[in-house]
Structure 1
Amino acid sequence: MRGGERDQHRDGMSTTRRTLIAGSAALATGALIGSPAAAAPGSKPQPKPTVVLVHGAFADASGWTDVARLLQHDGYRVLAPANPLRGVPGDTDYIASFLATVPGPIVLVGHSYGGFVITNAATGNPNITALVYVAAFAPDAGDTVQGLQLKYPGSKLGEAALDFRPHPGGVDGYVKPEVFREVFAGDLPRSATDLMAATQRPGDLSTLGTPSGAPAWASIPSYFLIARDDQLIPAAAQRFMAARANGHSVEVRASHVAMISQPRATADLIRKAAR
């Protein structure tokens, strides 16, 4: 082979080799971009959100015990702050300030009047990914607790069911012990409801007539656990609020304290909201 032919042959082999290498690199790059399996080792799993549980009136955070236990077993961080029950503005500010200290995504859950509070406290907090209402009030702007409670017939929490006790800043309402089980927790043993009645935390009467602000559920996905046997917030009112919020809802045979009598159903709905 002459010298010129050898040079042409080498140049041809070099060109072919460069083409093959470039093609192999392109295929490898394409495989890395297009294949989730190839990208997976470098990605981090998304952290589970923190679940914040807010109780309502005539109760305290211990009502969430079984729900919290189930969620913690599944690896969720759970926080259940004390709702002050001193009035809508103060309760809202307190829970909002608590939420501001929680890093990362949050699923915010409210029971009864706690739903009224979370609807207002979640506003403006970008970490809150879902709202969960458990036999709870989900007000629109201008709604009141009393207005929603009496919107449909069936509530047994009237003036005759309450004891009123003045305090330096106003008047507290307590559910009378003799009707506590019927109004609040008809599907729990009387031994349990007698203790709940004795240790109940009262709500200031100002909470009944204070109008709500703009609802957080207008911009945050919402989930509703509707208690069919609720004697405090009629099931019809719960369905109305869920439909108005375009929320995902499930129904259970439960009294007003659905999180106590149906903890698994409650935890299941919270998990769904967390996903």
Structure 2
Amino acid sequence: MSPKHLFCAAVLCLGFESLGAFAQNVAQNTAPAATPPAAPAAVRTPEPAAEPAQPAQPVASPAAEASPAAVPSAASGATAAPSAAKPAIAPMTGPVRNVVLVHGAFVDGSSWNGVVAKLQQKGYRVSSVQNPLTSLADDVAATRRVLARQEGPTMLVGHSWGGVVITEAGANAPNVAGLVYIAAIAPDLHESTMDLLKRGAPAPAGQSIVKDASGFLWLDRARYHADFAADVPENLTRVLSAAQVPIAAKAFGETVSQVAWKEKPSWYVVTTKDRAVSPDVERFMAERMGAKIVPMASSHLAPVSHAGAIADVIDRAARELSRHQ
């Protein structure tokens, strides 16, 4: 091949190589332009309906309010899906208008009927827990389910064994504004009902309690009136004794792992004619917790025999707390 032909071939080769490089550069420079919608999608403003709203129902988990999992994602603009384990608790603002009542052993929620009626007349939203009385954990769970339904500040009230329940259930509960104990057991950390009852002389009602083959305790019907509700009409105590709910004997030995009265304002009604829990033990517990003490000349079943007076104590406590909101 002549030098002239070799020169022409070289020029043609260089031209093809330049054309290939040019095509490659064009493809690289134009590829990003094929996907421009991606950027606007990443910064799209969320629809107003996706903004977090006040929950329609209050929540069950006391820890939920502080949980990051309950907070909507700022990047996505979407509200986190409700969680059964960690929903948000209703904020504790405004006056105390909710009352949750927790009964004790040998009765059920109907023992609060007179108190419920009086509080409703005063404008409160009242709920009465039905404790299964099968264990401390079961009763605390039942109480927390009711607390979860309260919107706004709530007074948590316990009678007798119910005091143990509210001591545990009321701890770390943001919607519980205060506690009211009615002739109730108020244990300290790792303390049980039996630990406290041993602080006083044996109560007469203790001799009326019998244990069945299933490990549940019953109050002898023949002594129900004298030892449990001496100031309640006998025709009513016959009905109460017939409908009594037994309590698992093991419950009286179970200890609390949280103590609500150490973090919440407390009131205590000492029933001075009590034959089920020693008035001296009641006063000891009330003074230890720093509660405001209200003596009442009543049998152990004060929510029945003195329903109006008990409702007044709860009302005064709620009003006092409301003034500090």
**TM bin (shorter chain):** 0.7 to 0.9
**CA deviation profile, 1:128-184 (whole Å, cap 9, x unmatched):** 0010001111110121112212311151232x42232234xxx11100111111221
Per the alignment, in what secondary structure is the counterpart of residue 249 of structure 1? strand
Matched, 1:59 2:103: no
Native 8 Å contact 1:106 1:130 kept in 2 = yes
Report the count of equivalent residues.
Answer: 227
Aligned partner letter, 1:132 = V
In the aligned structure 2, how far is the partner of 1:146 from the partner of 1:70? 33
Letter in 2 for 1:265: A
Shift of 1:73: 0.5
Alignment partners' CA distance in 2, 1:142 and 1:58: 24
| 8 Å contact from structure 2 (residues 130, 142) kept in 1 | no
1:185 corresponds to which of 229, 233, 237: 229
Q: Does 1:229 align with 2:273?
A: yes
Distance (Å, rounded) in 2 between the aligned partners of 1:154 and 1:188: 23
AA in 2 matched with 1:147:
D
Aligned-pair CA distance for 1:101: 2.5
Q: Considering only CA atoms, is the larger Rg found in Structure 1 or Structure 2?
A: 2
* Counterpart residue number, 1:123: 171
Report SS of the residue matched to 1:241.
helix
Shift in Å at residue 214 of structure 1?
Answer: 2.4
* Mapped pair 1:101 → 2:149: yes
Q: RCO (CA 8 Å, sep 6+): is it higher in 1 or 2?
A: 1
Corresponding residue SS for 1:136: coil
Give the percent of matched residue pairs that are identical in Structure 1 and Structure 2: 36
CA contact (8 A) 1:86 1:203 kept: yes
Q: Give the secondary-structure state (helix, strand or coil) at the position aligned to 2:205.
A: coil
Contact 1:172 1:205 in 2 (8 A): yes
Structure 1 moving runs of 4+ over 4 Å: none
Note if 1:239 corresponds to 2:283.
Answer: yes
**Deviates most, 178-187 or 226-235:** 178-187
Distance 1:166 1:102, change over 3 A: farther
Q: Does 1:83 align with 2:131?
A: yes
- Is the 2:101–2:127 Cα contact (8 Å) retained in structure 1? yes
Tell me the equivalent position of 1:22. none
- Whether the 8 Å CA contact 1:254–1:261 is kept in 2: the answer is yes
Equivalent position of 1:166 in the other structure: 213
Give me the TM-score of the superposition, normalised by structure 2.
Answer: 0.67
